[in-house]
């Protein structure tokens, strides 16, 4: 019996012509196609003029746990199981993780056909640093939890990429203005690779205003990394050292704040220096 394998394949974000030749071949040759939406994968196959010969089953967030045992058995029995999501790469904020994990645990072969990803596509066109980045999935839906999540990005130095519902984008950006400040740069990518693709670049304040009137389509957000916050105790010590060398306290505070991105205001540092003298 020939060994089976689990095959992950990226599907187009929009235009079917972005499909790779390997994806087309896999759709036609897989024994089982596990799709996030069976209707969408059949529509994609029709657009690509390929006939899906294997069995087609659904694999989405709510049923993945129950689907895994049978699909692992299929791979163990020698079948090629192809996993596709609605768009982009499976597992990346899409179904597939539980299945991949189970196959790895069982010592079965897991392979991937590279292709479109909204994460890397948005990052590439953003104009923001891409040498180091983090992916944050979807922000929390509730405002209190979302603000807590945004607080964690205050000092995140890497460019952050995340998805957001068009219905919640305006609220998310407004919360980001309050938590991260109005001047942090951000890029909103709408309908990537599709007919009505739109890339909006600006500050959080500018794009929060733009989104306030409502936005439609699939949304990917790329957020500029933050400046690391300077340790207050260390800054106070630097001020004391400058004062010991003859500087006035206010002048020393101004010099230290200017030399340390992410430092508190001169007033806050000045007050902290005075408190340290008590």
pLDDT digits (tens, 9 = 90+) for 100-130: 999 999 999 999 999 999 999 999 999 999 9
Q: How confident is the model at residue 231 (pLDDT cuts 50, 70, 90)?
A: confident
Model confidence pLDDT, tens digit, residues 47-91:
999 999 999 999 999 999 999 999 999 999 999 999 999 999 999
Same domain? For 25 and 43 the reply is: yes
Same domain? For 196 and 265 the reply is: no
Domain boundary among 206, 223, 240: 223
Domain boundary among 116, 141, 163: 116
CA 194 remoteness from chain centre: 19
Same domain? For 136 and 159 the reply is: yes
**Could you tell me if 105 and 30 are in contact, meaning their C-beta atoms sit under 8 angstroms apart?**
no
Same domain? For 242 and 198 the reply is: no
Domain boundary among 56, 90, 116: 116
Same domain? For 247 and 187 the reply is: no
Same domain? For 199 and 247 the reply is: no
Containing structural domain, residue 237: 232-276
Same domain? For 147 and 82 the reply is: no
Query: Which CATH number fits the domain that encloses residue 32?
Result: 3.40.1010.10
Strand order in the sheet with 5-9: 55-58, 32-35, 80-84, 5-9, 109-113
């Amino acid at each position: 019996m020939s060994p089976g394998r689990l095959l992950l394949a990226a599907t187009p974000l929009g235009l079917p012509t972005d499909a790779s030749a390997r994806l087309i071949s896999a759709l036609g040759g897989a024994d089982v196609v596990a799709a996030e939406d069976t209707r969408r994968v059949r529509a994609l196959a029709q657009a690509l003029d390929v006939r899906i010969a294997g069995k087609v089953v659904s694999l989405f967030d709510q049923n993945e746990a129950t689907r895994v045992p049978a699909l692992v058995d299929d791979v163990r029995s020698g079948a090629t199981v192809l996993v596709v999501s609605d768009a982009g790469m499976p597992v990346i904020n899409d179904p597939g993780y539980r299945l991949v994990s189970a196959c790895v645990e069982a010592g079965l072969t897991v392979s991937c056909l590279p292709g479109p990803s909204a994460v890397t596509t948005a990052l590439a066109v953003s104009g923001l640093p891409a040498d180091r980045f983090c992916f944050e999935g979807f922000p929390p839906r509730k405002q209190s939890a979302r603000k807590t999540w945004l607080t964690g990005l205050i000092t995140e130095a890497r460019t952050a990429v995340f998805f957001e519902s068009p219905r919640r984008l305006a609220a998310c950006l407004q919360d980001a203005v309050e938590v991260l400040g109005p001047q942090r740069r951000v890029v909103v990518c709408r309908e990537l690779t599709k007919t009505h693709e739109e890339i909006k670049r600006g500050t959080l304040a500018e794009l929060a205003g733009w989104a306030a009137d409502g936005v439609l389509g699939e949304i990917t957000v790329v957020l500029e990394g933050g400046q690391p916050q300077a340790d207050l105790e260390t800054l106070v010590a630097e001020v004391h050292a400058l004062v010991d060398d003859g500087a006035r306290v206010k002048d020393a505070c101004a010099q230290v704040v200017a030399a340390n991105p992410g430092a508190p205001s001169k007033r806050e540092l000045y007050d902290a220096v005075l408190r340290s003298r008590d």
